[in-house]
Structure 1
Amino acid sequence: MSLNQTVAHADLKAFIARCLGACGMPESDAATVAGLMAQADLMGQDGHGVFRLPMYIKRIHAGGMNMTPNFTRLHERPATALIDGDNGMGHLVMHHATELAMQKARGTGVAWVGARHSNHAGPASLYAMMPARENMIGLYLAVGSANHMPPWGGTDMLLSTNPIAVALPSRDFPPIVLDMATTVAAYGKVKTAAQRGEMMPEGWMIDRDGKPLTDPNRAADGFLLPIGGPKGYGLSLIFGILAGVLNGAAFGRDVVDFNADATSTTNTGHVILALDIAAFADPVKFRADIDDVWRQMKSSARMTGVDEIRLPGERLNKVTRDRTAQGIPIPAPLRETLADLARDLGVAAL
């Protein structure tokens, strides 16, 4: 089987929806989740798209996620809200939270919505980009789905990749989209490397003796490294407090390893902030100004050996265009896993 087989975005979305529907998820919810998961693959976030589907379904079958959640607002003010996700799938929780944040921001100028009792929700950029499509700036934070990093200088894994994403709309150029973990590599990249039989670069992980760890199959023997040394540790800590502790969600020793435990409630925490550009500037002018930022960065004098200066979100946009036209690549090991999944669920294969 070719390693370069591709699938159309619409076909991937339909497959994910079929699988989730077979697990008892209501049709409209399955369509929402499938759309977000397939969008992750379309953008090149391969560690957070259909790759995660078998893990999600394992958790669903084990009773670890609620297929018919009832979202409630525990606290609410004009510009803020705290949502209880009722242990629903994280994509549903965060789609709901982001829609609410945008609704509030249209009236208040800026809105901050936190969520607890959620689950893994895919790549951070999914939710930051939703406000950016509505003349807003989106900012997303989350507590990662498993702890893979100790505090700086320690060995107890008390912190996760705790990502941040910020999306800013432009006019003629792609939106600027920063989507990054507070670790050098997201753990999803470690898992995809293991599935593909690839080694990791030095600098992603070290073992408990401080030596480079490059075999992804030995990931449990070490931990991820923070970006920028102690600065990345500090960011992970603060983002975890804002998305976890502030929301009454899991943090530190309370974080459940989503990869290893399919039954325990994860109580994952997230934050979405939506900022209406019109509360600060004319949206048309702001978009044009972001275009000017693009031009300044791209035209900057380059160091020797550097072919191009790129902005955050530039690769995401290119991959999205390429995969829209050419299809989404599904590596052979993943395709086989998905074929087994389809057979077990009694649905048409990808």
Structure 2
Amino acid sequence: MTAETRTIDLPDLHRWVAEAFRSAGLGKKEAEIMSDCLTEADSRGASSHGVIRVPFLVARLRDGGARADASPQLLTEAPASAVVDGDAALGPISAHFAMTLATRKAAACGVGFVAVRNSDFIGTCAHSAMIALRHSMIGMTWTNGFPGMAPFSGAGAAIGNNPFGFAIPTGSGEPVVLDMAMSCVAGGRVRHAAKRGEDIPEGWIVDSEGRDTNDPNQLAAGGALLSLGHKGFGLAVIGEILCGVLAGAAILGEIPEWFRETDKPVGNGHVHLAIDIKRFVRPEDFVKRMNELATLLKQTPARDGHDEVLLPGERSVRCAAWHRRHGLDLPRQVADDLVTLAGRLGIAAPQFRSGATV
């Protein structure tokens, strides 16, 4: 049975989220970045990283774990690289600063690589990676985070699921966008299932005793996410090295559970890469070859139970188009959490459509 939901138009949700962050102390530009990141996640179908997280992130600002007046700063710089201190800003803000810098360096040198330390939870990696698309560049974002995933063959949480995102322009259509964690499923998706009162498939998490479970509440009770096998765990280790060790940021158990310990700085790291396509191949040749690649892949016959072959990000584009037309359905408990937050902040509640759906 589907949980009860409340529907809101995306522009109304975007305005409300920005207002919530302004009321929590962020400047106008920073509040817009946060709203862009979270509402885009919901619109593209990544509801685990969407507005369900607004109350936690506002709590981080109000409790002191993140700084509302933060100003990310350059620590070291070379023509094609830089290291940034995030100044304990909310992650999407420091990620926006770093990827914008990476694109400037790529415009000058062909590639730009920027590492960030002293940051916070960045949300979907695709959001900052897609900044490169505005400059007809390839973008990549990778981050480490709270160690909520078990190592391959391990029975308890020890490492982050350390997601990455790639965004690649096609020139003649929607970009190719891959955003994935190294766990079987994002932790936010498990918590979203708990909000909806739904079971999850076995193989997503283990409980505090290292046993398989389909109860999403077991994750918060000391359980752990499971990795995408040994390959997912291996990539998580590489992410920990690049985003933690190389960036000079916190690693593994040094990173607190950001959505519970809202008074503690996260201190995690992330890296951002921008590639200026025209430095490697003529843009018109790149577009031609991308179209050939897409056509050949999509000509593959679909397996039973599937309608077609989709490229990374294609489903998200369709999802966003649907939500722009029809609005976004939020689980009743998520909607109620936003209404409660509005009361705490002293602002108007989100303007949901009349009635509710089941």
Fold-level similarity (TM above 0.5): yes
CA contact (8 A) 1:140 1:271 kept: yes
Match for 2:199: what amino acid?
A: M
- Structure 2: how far apart are the matches of 1:178 and 1:28? 26
- Structure 2: how far apart are the matches of 1:284 and 1:188? 40
Name which of structure 1's ranges 133-142 and 285-294 shifts more when overlaid on structure 2.
Answer: 285-294
CA contact (8 A) 1:133 1:169 kept: no
- Structure 1: how far apart are the matches of 2:348 and 2:304? 52
Taking only aligned residues, the RMSD between alpha carbons, in angstroms, comes to 1.6
Name which of structure 1's ranges 125-134 and 202-211 shifts more when overlaid on structure 2.
Answer: 202-211
CA contact (8 A) 2:156 2:208 kept: no
1:14 corresponds to which residue? Answer: 15
- Structure 2: how far apart are the matches of 1:258 and 1:280? 40
2:356 corresponds to which residue? Answer: none
CA contact (8 A) 1:167 1:175 kept: yes
Match status 1:184 vs 2:187: no
1:70 corresponds to which residue? Answer: 71
- Structure 2: how far apart are the matches of 1:86 and 1:116? 8
Tell me the CA shift for residue 22 of structure 1. 1.1
Match for 2:55: what amino acid?
A: P
Match status 1:150 vs 2:150: yes
How is 1:207-246 mapped onto 2 (pairs within 5 angstroms)? 207=207, 209-219=209-219, 220-227=221-228, 229-246=229-246
2:258 corresponds to which residue? Answer: 258
- Structure 1: how far apart are the matches of 2:200 and 2:194? 9
How is 1:97-136 mapped onto 2 (pairs within 5 angstroms)? 97-136=98-137
Deviations 1:225-273 (A, max 9, x none): 111x111111100111101111111112212111221111110201110
Deviations 1:165-189 (A, max 9, x none): 1111113332111111000001010
TM (normalized to structure 1)?
A: 0.95
1:288 corresponds to which residue? Answer: 288
CA contact (8 A) 2:141 2:166 kept: yes
- Structure 2: how far apart are the matches of 1:92 and 1:304? 43
Q: Is the partner of 2:75 in helix, strand or coil?
A: strand
Unaligned residue ranges in structure 2 (runs of 5+): 351-358
User: How many residues end up aligned between the 2 structures?
Assistant: 347
TM (normalized to structure 2)?
A: 0.93
2:203 corresponds to which residue? Answer: 203
- Structure 1: how far apart are the matches of 2:133 and 2:240? 24
Tell me the CA shift for residue 216 of structure 1. 0.7
1:269 corresponds to which residue? Answer: 269
2:309 corresponds to which residue? Answer: 309
Tell me the CA shift for residue 301 of structure 1. 3.1
Name which of structure 1's ranges 165-174 and 117-126 shifts more when overlaid on structure 2.
Answer: 165-174
1:170 corresponds to which residue? Answer: 170
Cα gap change, 1:8 to 1:284, in 2 (>3 Å): farther
Name which of structure 1's ranges 324-333 and 185-194 shifts more when overlaid on structure 2.
Answer: 324-333
1:53 corresponds to which residue? Answer: 54
Deviations 1:60-87 (A, max 9, x none): 1211111111221111100000100110
1:93 corresponds to which residue? Answer: 94
- Structure 2: how far apart are the matches of 1:342 and 1:319? 27
Tell me the CA shift for residue 156 of structure 1. 4.6
Q: Is the partner of 2:347 in helix, strand or coil?
A: coil
Aligned-residue identity in percent = 35
Q: Is the partner of 1:290 in helix, strand or coil?
A: helix
1:27 corresponds to which residue? Answer: 28
Name which of structure 1's ranges 147-156 and 97-106 shifts more when overlaid on structure 2.
Answer: 147-156
Match status 1:346 vs 2:346: yes
Tell me the CA shift for residue 316 of structure 1. 0.8
- Structure 2: how far apart are the matches of 1:103 and 1:61? 33
Match for 2:140: what amino acid?
A: L
Name which of structure 1's ranges 57-66 and 268-277 shifts more when overlaid on structure 2.
Answer: 57-66
- Structure 2: how far apart are the matches of 1:305 and 1:70? 50
Deviations 1:69-125 (A, max 9, x none): 122111110000010011011111011111100111001000100111111111111
Name which of structure 1's ranges 340-349 and 29-38 shifts more when overlaid on structure 2.
Answer: 29-38
2:331 corresponds to which residue? Answer: 331
Cα gap change, 1:311 to 1:51, in 2 (>3 Å): same
Tell me the CA shift for residue 340 of structure 1. 0.8
- Structure 2: how far apart are the matches of 1:332 and 1:325? 21
Match for 2:143: what amino acid?
A: A
- Structure 2: how far apart are the matches of 1:4 and 1:260? 25
CA contact (8 A) 1:116 1:268 kept: yes
- Structure 1: how far apart are the matches of 2:131 and 2:311? 19
Tell me the CA shift for residue 209 of structure 1. 5.0
Name which of structure 1's ranges 134-143 and 295-304 shifts more when overlaid on structure 2.
Answer: 295-304
- Structure 1: how far apart are the matches of 2:198 and 2:262? 26
Name which of structure 1's ranges 59-68 and 102-111 shifts more when overlaid on structure 2.
Answer: 59-68
CA contact (8 A) 2:77 2:83 kept: yes
